[in-house]
Structure 1
Amino acid sequence: MTDRDIAKMRPAREAMPAATYARLTGASEVALKLPASTIQAFAEEGEDWRERMADALIEAERKKHAA
């Protein structure tokens, strides 16, 4: 692969149909209604707020199953 080819690459979740990506990764997208203050609290800490919010939810799930 050339640098030009690499520059054209997109993340798999953008390049393939959502259903295919979900099947391959076990991930699925859902819509949540959250208070604006919750989103703002994560967003204030940086551009990766969605990933950090997802990590927080995964950790909550782990704690729930461990209890």
Structure 2
Amino acid sequence: MKSYIQGLITGGVLVFALFVLMGSSGGNQVGRYSISTDAKDGKIYQTIFDTKIGKVIRRGVKKDGRFYE
């Protein structure tokens, strides 16, 4: 009975370690995009930049100062 419980615990630890290692192999996308917002002459300029590939994804201009509508 003791070896059975020891085998169960060992198997559980191995399965847990396998899940942890498989989960950590995926790419991390946190911090990939940078958002810049500037205001000038009553216009709001917004740029979304992809830091991984080094390209601008989107640029936008809001002509009036009511940004939150």
Query: More strand by proportion, 1 or 2?
Result: 2
Normalized against structure 1, the TM-score is what? Answer: 0.30
Normalized against structure 2, the TM-score is what? Answer: 0.29
Higher relative contact order (CA 8 A, sep 6+): 2
Greater gyration radius: 2
